[in-house]
Amino acid sequence: MQTRKLGEGLVVSALGLGCMGMSGVYGAADEQAATDTIHQAIDLGVTFLDTADAYGKGHNETLIGKAIADRRDRVAIATKFGLSDVSQGGYTVPVNGRPEYVRSACEASLQRLGVETIDLYYQHRVDPHTPIEETIGAMAELVKEGKVRFLGLSEASAATIRRAHAVHPIAALQSEYSLWSRDVEAEILPTCRELAIGFVPWSPLGRGFLTGQVKTFDDLDANDWRRVSPRFQGENFGRNLDLVAQVQEMADAKNCTPAQLAIAWLLQQGDDIVPIPGTKRVSYLLDNLGALDVKLTMAELDRIDTILPQGAASGDRYPASMMQMVNL
């Protein structure tokens, strides 16, 4: 599989695998199906797995640890700290970036994952009450001790990225980026490129919306957290379906799926971008990987810019309380 480099030297597959949904965030969890998906991804050349201690309150890290126990040398593991829980209701606050917590969180993740070293360790959200210099300083100590290889941030502002990078090189910035979430293009992505920081788009398929599989609100399981997402609510839902219809039209003309079109578009935004589409099913994994063979022409890219410019999606990315936790 094609590879790309994040930061100073973390080489990973051009597409990673987001594992959050394997722990009940988007409906019921199925550990066997999740394990099969991870194994198939690795066998097909995916070398970048994304998790966090908050996904399923540690369940996701434990799941991944078991799945890669006999193939650790074939994957780079990215995990995160700082959020209490990401489950059916979304995010539990407050965020914790205190140095002593950084260390204890890392030790717990290492134990759950069953590994000696975390390849990429992100601060999941910026703690507004702890100077970023203190948090990154604590993370840098973990690098010195060999417990972590590379450092990352998630949903941080351009100013915070600069401050963090001045303390220790940041290899990757992870934020939402997709055809319907392009706000990072204004300031955050240019800052990352100035500092040679890789960019890892999470939710490259708009939380599944861009796949065309979600047709009605009732398509979401009762315990699916997207039921509280503004973009899936009321009139926003209908307007966003109209956008997806145009993506579907382009995909049909390209002889690919909407998901492949959306991922291919991201991949063509730069070689420093490594999307991590999430799935818990092998069939969707195979569909996502098919995006590597889709090449969009300049005319197609221009059309996408016309129908899906910055701000095209209706509704905020998160409920109001959660929007306060991004771009800090």
Under 8 Å between Cβ of 67 and 35: yes
pTM: 0.91
Q: Which of 85-89, 108-112, 127-131, 214-218 has the lowest mean pLDDT?
A: 85-89
Which of these is catalytic: 55, 122, 177, 284? 55
pLDDT category of residue 24 using cuts at 50, 70 and 90: low
Distance, in Å, from the CA atom of 161 to the CA atom of 271, rounded to the nearest integer, reads 20
Based on the number of CB atoms within 10 Å of its own CB, is 108 exposed (0-12), middle (13-18) or buried (19 or more)?
Answer: middle
55 is catalytic: yes
Given a cut of 80, is residue 29 above it in pLDDT?
A: no
pLDDT digits (tens, 9 = 90+) for 152-181: 999 999 999 999 999 999 999 999 999 989
DSSP 77-123: EEEEES-SEEETTEEES-----HHHHHHHHHHHHHHHT-S-EEEEEE
Per-residue model confidence (pLDDT) at position 55: 92
User: Tens digit of pLDDT for each residue in 94-129?
Assistant: 799 999 999 999 999 999 999 999 999 999 999 999
Q: Where are the domains of the chain?
A: 3-206+267-293
Highest CATH level, class, for 3-206+267-293 = alpha beta
Tokens describing residue 215: 């047709």
Distance CA 32, CA 104 (A): 30
